[in-house]
Amino acid sequence: MYDAIYIEKAGKPTVTFAFEHFLNDAMSAASSKGMPVVRVVPETIVSESTVVADIEKAITAVFDDAVAALTKPLTVEEKSPKPREQENPPRIVFKGSLEDVNRFFYQRGWTDGLPIIPPTEAAVAEMLTGTDLPADHVVVELEPRRGKATVEKIAINAVMAGCLPTYMPLLIAGVECLSDNPVSGMMAASTGSFSPFWLINGPIAKDINARATYGATSPGDIANATIGRALGLLTKNMRGIRKQIEDMGVLGNPGKYSWVAAENEEYSPFESQHVERGLNKEDSAITLTFPQSFQQMMPFGTDAKGLLATVIGSIVPARMGQFILLLTPTNARSCADAGWTKKAIKDYIVKNAVVPEDYFERLGIDGSRAFDRGTGSGPGGTRDIFRPSQRDPDPVQVFVYGGFGSWMGFAQGGPPPVTRKVELPKDWTKLVAKYKNIVPNYFRY
């Protein structure tokens, strides 16, 4: 819709065909760009359809509506939309029991469906001890709604998610990551159900007990469970990307609840992700990627040859965007011991991930066009699956996390990673001491 608005602002009447289920999304996008009334013709073509007969029928059915949208005189509201008033919500938005608060927040569309911790003044004040920034400091405005990500609003959503105050520096840096990436709003709203995947690096990971080892991305650790959750709540409550209103993910993605790992720097033989991206090892950092899928494979063999062959053998042509190889420290060590660097692994994947010669012919599919419209990679005119491009010069990443084992994995999809250094408050050591011992103590049975 952004192009339609740009064109209208340039003085040219415009009409846009859009799938009838996407009208809310289209109107929210238009409104966020200052044009709350745009002319959209709803049609019945589902997203990404390639069925020409369906498209023919659908456009024929509404073509006269498109003509009318370009020729029918404007209404008063279309000529001059009424200005919006400044929002002035009460500071205390609700009073009630735990159950009432949860019901109220859920019904307002402010939660992810799980129960929340009530964000009281006291709880938010405690959360704010995790940063030296003032509560009213606007970290960024988040597209598409341009909601102000104030430190206090970040803290409120963090309380709701169950975060500890020591996560605030990561959440603030995470919000900056969301703002840095110009397409992250589109990723969060996309039919492709892309999910933010947050990788934590540096000393902060141990300070907050962010899990880097066994089951790093499974439930069970407050940090991993709530940091992603809080950033997911922020996506709703700041960006204004809500399910089936603006977030039109078709299948959905469980990663949107919380998908967080710390890199296993202690046992990784490779330079860590944040160092690779220009920061110092002593820095703490958070990296945002937006994969849509996650796959785990048992390797053909656990030596470097077997591991890398498994990667290549598992990449299929019907894919898009970034490819993140997920190695356990064991697998990473096997590769390193055989002389493989991270860069060499990346280069190997780019070079050897090719579409088998008879693949499309056997399937009866036209393989003449690049499949990955985001990066330009894909089958297209050559057999290369990955094609480094100006937009994505480094399409393969290697993350090392998890326990000691042979299973390997990858995450696929989305734009290049964004990394932000985490700024810690002055009394960080004291703060860490206060919260670091909050860990599960499992008893034997």
Question: CA-to-CA distance for 368 and 51, rounded, in angstroms?
Answer: 18
Q: Please tell me the count of residues contacting another protein according to CB under 8 A.
A: 102
Measured from the CB atom, the residue of 264 and 292 that comes closer to another protein is: 292
The least CB distance from residue 397 to another protein, in Å, is 21
Structure tokens at 81: 């939309």
Measured from the CB atom, the residue of 2 and 404 that comes closer to another protein is: 2
Binding to another protein, residues 279-318 (CB under 8 A): none
The least CB distance from residue 228 to another protein, in Å, is 16
Binding to another protein, residues 374-403 (CB under 8 A): 374
Task: Scan for tokens 């919260």, then name that residue.
Answer: 435
With 0-12 CB in 10 A as exposed, 13-18 as middle and 19+ as buried, what is 335? buried
Q: Is 366 in the site for another protein (CB under 8 A)?
A: no
- Per-residue string for binding with another protein, 70-109, x by CB under 8 A? xxxxx---xxxxxxxxxx-xxxxxxxxxxx-xx--x--x-
Measured from the CB atom, the residue of 155 and 285 that comes closer to another protein is: 155
- Per-residue string for binding with another protein, 216-255, x by CB under 8 A? -----------------x---xx-x-------x-------
Measured from the CB atom, the residue of 146 and 206 that comes closer to another protein is: 146
The least CB distance from residue 381 to another protein, in Å, is 16
Give the three-class secondary structure for 294. Answer: strand
Question: CA-to-CA distance for 420 and 180, rounded, in angstroms?
Answer: 9
Give the three-class secondary structure for 114. Answer: coil
DSSP state letter for 411: E
The least CB distance from residue 84 to another protein, in Å, is 4
- Cα distance from N-terminal residue to C-terminal residue, the chain: 58
The least CB distance from residue 151 to another protein, in Å, is 11
Angle between helices 222-237 and 151-161 (to 10 degrees): 130
- Per-residue string for binding with another protein, 180-199, x by CB under 8 A? --xx--x----x--------
Choose, by CB under 8 A, the member of 27, 28, 110, 263 that binds another protein.
Answer: 110
Question: CA-to-CA distance for 81 and 34, rounded, in angstroms?
Answer: 9
Structure tokens at 39: 């002319």
The least CB distance from residue 74 to another protein, in Å, is 6
Q: Is 147 in the site for another protein (CB under 8 A)?
A: yes
Please count the CA atoms within 13 angstroms of the CA of 177 that sit on its side-chain side. Answer: 29
Measured from the CB atom, the residue of 209 and 237 that comes closer to another protein is: 237
Question: CA-to-CA distance for 302 and 226, rounded, in angstroms?
Answer: 33
With 0-12 CB in 10 A as exposed, 13-18 as middle and 19+ as buried, what is 59? middle
Q: Is 61 in the site for another protein (CB under 8 A)?
A: no
Choose, by CB under 8 A, the member of 24, 120, 244, 295 that binds another protein.
Answer: 120
Question: CA-to-CA distance for 72 and 26, rounded, in angstroms?
Answer: 21
Choose, by CB under 8 A, the member of 119, 196, 232, 402 that binds another protein.
Answer: 119
Structure tokens at 441: 């103590």
The least CB distance from residue 371 to another protein, in Å, is 9
- Which of 145-153, 165-173, 301-309, 358-366 is the region at the interface with another protein (rule: CB under 8 A)? 145-153
- Per-residue string for binding with another protein, 5-24, x by CB under 8 A? -xxxxxxxxxxxxxx--x--
Strands 197-201 and 285-289: antiparallel
Measured from the CB atom, the residue of 150 and 331 that comes closer to another protein is: 150
Choose, by CB under 8 A, the member of 28, 118, 335, 417 that binds another protein.
Answer: 118
Give the three-class secondary structure for 134. Answer: coil
Question: CA-to-CA distance for 378 and 380, rounded, in angstroms?
Answer: 6
Q: Whose CA is closest to 357, among 379, 332, 328?
A: 379
